[in-house]
Structure 1
Amino acid sequence: MASKVMKSVAKSMGVYQYPWQEKLMKHQDDLSKGVWGYWHLGAWKHCGISARHRARVRKEVLLAGEDWPYDPEWKEMRTKRKGHKCDRISAEKRANTAELMQKMPQMLADFKKRKWERKINEEDAEAKKT
């Protein structure tokens, strides 16, 4: 009972520090394999230390000025912003329309040429029949 009182008094005075070195040494093998856990012989093994205690140890280590190498690598941040699908589609349609309008004179010329060739071919076919 007296030791509990002394610890609480020491905590309030700031003398007592969380023994992060001991905890880190105890769970260093698990943390080096993976922060949340790891696969062992085809089965998922949870980390030997809970997330709350891992965070507490991490905080103590960083406050002590030490390095914490057990954080997982971060994924690259997403640069494309989310939005409504209808806005994206309408923007794509506008861009596609502008591109097609640039090609329109050539498309009309090709259409007239095909129509003219079809008409000539039909006339040639009628001339051969007679």
Structure 2
Amino acid sequence: MAAKLAAAAAKAVAAAKGAAANGYQYSWREKLAKHKDELAKGVWGYWELGAWKPLAISARKRARLRKEVLLAGEDWPYDPPRKEMRNKRKGHKCDRVSAEKRAHTAELMKKMPEMLLDYKKRRWAKKMKEEEEKKGKTA
């Protein structure tokens, strides 16, 4: 009995090696047709009735199938849409902040003559107002 099982196993292995040697392996088109519904459910899995269900096809098999399809020149519509790349700045924040401060200071320096004139006018107006109040109290 054990000999029959061993012989059957040896024949199966030999048949598998023979098929691989002939160049025919399980075609990616057949694999794609077989797993089409499962691949359409998502990349990692899906929610069904409030419970998370992983895909019936493993990630390794999915990746291998994807690679075979792409190498054959076909398109793979089952990837999730790519998000837009972030434009994260590189470098230290202190350098960026100091550069912004320098730019802001340069803008303020351009406005400085007007700011000084406004300050002098306010100070002069305040002085005149105080003098008028003193005259009003003494009179």
Query: Alpha carbons of 1:18 and 1:63: their partners in 2 closer, same or farther (altered >3 Å)?
Result: farther
Tell me by how many angstroms 1:123 deviates: 0.7
1:32-71 alignment, distance < 5 Å: 32-71=40-79
Which stretches in structure 2 are left out of the alignment for 5+ residues? 1-9
Which structure has the greater CA radius of gyration?
2
Task: Kindly tell me the number of residue pairs found equivalent between the two proteins.
Answer: 129
Among candidates 126, 133, 137, match of residue 129 of structure 1 = 137
What's the RMSD between the two structures over aligned residues? 2.0
1:78 pairs with one of 86, 90, 100: 86
Q: Any runs of at least 4 consecutive aligned residues in structure 1 with deviations exceeding 3 A, and if so which? A: 8-11
Deviations 1:39-97 (A, max 9, x none): 22333222221111100011112223332110111112233432211111111111111
Where in structure 2 are the equivalents of 1:101-112 lying within 5 Å? 101-112=109-120
Cα contact 1:20–1:61 (8 A) shared by 2: yes
Letter in 2 for 1:38: Y
Tell me how far apart the structure 2 counterparts of residues 45 and 8 of structure 1 sit (CA, whole Å): 35
Counterpart in 2 of 1:4? 13
Letter matched to residue 40 of structure 2? S
TM-score normalised over the length of structure 1: 0.84
Sequence identity, in percent?
A: 66
Gap regions ≥5 residues in structure 1 = none
TM-score (norm 2): 0.80
